Structure 1
Amino acid sequence: MAEPKNTANQRLTQIKDFLTMNKTATTIPWDPDCTKFPTRQALPNIPGAPAEAAWVWGDSDYIGRINLLTPTRVAAAAKEIKTGEIIPVNMPLDTPNQPAFGREVFTHEIKVLAENLAYDDIYHMNTQSGTQWDGFRHFAHMESGSFYNGTKGSDIIGPSANHKCSMHHWAEHGIAGRGILLDYRGYAHKKGINYDPYDYYPISWEELYQCGKDQGVDIRPGAQGGDIKIGDMLFVRSGWKEAYDSKSPDDRAKAALRHGSGKDGEDGQRYAGLSQEQKILDWLHDCYFATVAGDAPAFEAWPTHENYHLHEYILALWGMPLGEMLDLEKLAKTCREKSRWFFFFSSAPANCPGGVSSHVNGNAFL
Structure 2
Amino acid sequence: MSNFSFPEFDDLPVVKGQPKGCLWGFFDVNGQKDQLGTLRLLTKEVVQKAKDEIQIGTHVQLDWPLHNIQFPGFGRIPLQHTVKDLADQGFVAFDDVISFNTQTSSQWDSLKHFGSQKTAVYYNGWTHDQLKTSNDLGIHKICDRGGIVGRGILVDWLSWWEHENPGIEPPSAISCHKIPVSELEATLAYQGTETGQGDILIVRSGFVRWHNNAKADIRALGTEKQHYMIGLENNDETVRWLYSKHFSAVAGDTMGFEAWPYPEDCCLHEWLLVQWGTPIGELWDLEALAEECKAHNRWSFFLTSAPLRVVGGCASPPNAIAIL
- TM-score band by shorter chain is over 0.9
Matches of 2:47 and 2:293 in 1, distance apart? 20
Q: Does 1:43 align with 2:12?
A: yes
Matches within 5 A, 1:215-364: 215-217=191-193, 227-258=194-225, 268-364=226-322
1:203–1:274 CA contact under 8 A, matched in 2? yes
Task: Indicate the residue corresponding to 1:126 in structure 2.
Answer: 101
Deviation at 1:306, TM superposition (A): 4.0
Could you give the per-residue CA deviations for residues 83-133 of structure 1, whole angstroms, max 9, x where no partner exists? 111111001111122123331111101122225612211111101110011
Structure 1 unaligned blocks of 5 or more: 1-31, 218-226, 259-267
Matches of 1:210 and 1:134 in 2, distance apart? 28
Task: Indicate the residue corresponding to 2:66 in structure 1.
Answer: 93
Q: Does 1:149 align with 2:116?
A: no
The aligned length equals 314
* SS in structure 2 of the partner of residue 129 of structure 1: coil
Matches within 5 A, 1:123-202: 123-157=98-132, 161-173=133-145, 174-192=147-165, 194-202=170-178
Matches of 2:79 and 2:35 in 1, distance apart? 29
2:234–2:267 CA contact under 8 A, matched in 1? yes
Relative to the length of structure 1, the TM-score reads 0.82
Q: Structure 1 residues 276 and 34, CA, compared in 2 at 3 Å: closer, same or farther? A: same
* SS in structure 2 of the partner of residue 315 of structure 1: helix
Matches of 1:333 and 1:294 in 2, distance apart? 16
Q: Structure 1 residues 50 and 150, CA, compared in 2 at 3 Å: closer, same or farther? A: farther
Deviation at 1:349, TM superposition (A): 1.1
* SS in structure 2 of the partner of residue 330 of structure 1: helix
* SS in structure 1 of the partner of residue 261 of structure 2: coil
**Higher mean C-alpha deviation, range 50-59 or range 207-216:** 50-59
Task: Indicate the residue corresponding to 2:78 in structure 1.
Answer: 105
Deviation at 1:199, TM superposition (A): 0.8
Matches of 2:21 and 2:184 in 1, distance apart? 24
1:177–1:346 CA contact under 8 A, matched in 2? yes
AA of the residue aligned to 2:140: H
Structure 2 unaligned blocks of 5 or more: none
Q: Give the superposed CA RMSD.
A: 1.5
Deviation at 1:166, TM superposition (A): 1.3
Matches of 1:256 and 1:215 in 2, distance apart? 31
Matches of 1:202 and 1:301 in 2, distance apart? 5
Structure possessing the higher radius of gyration over alpha carbons: 1
Could you give the per-residue CA deviations for residues 181-205 of structure 1, whole angstroms, max 9, x where no partner exists? 1100011111116311111100000
**Higher mean C-alpha deviation, range 271-280 or range 248-257:** 248-257
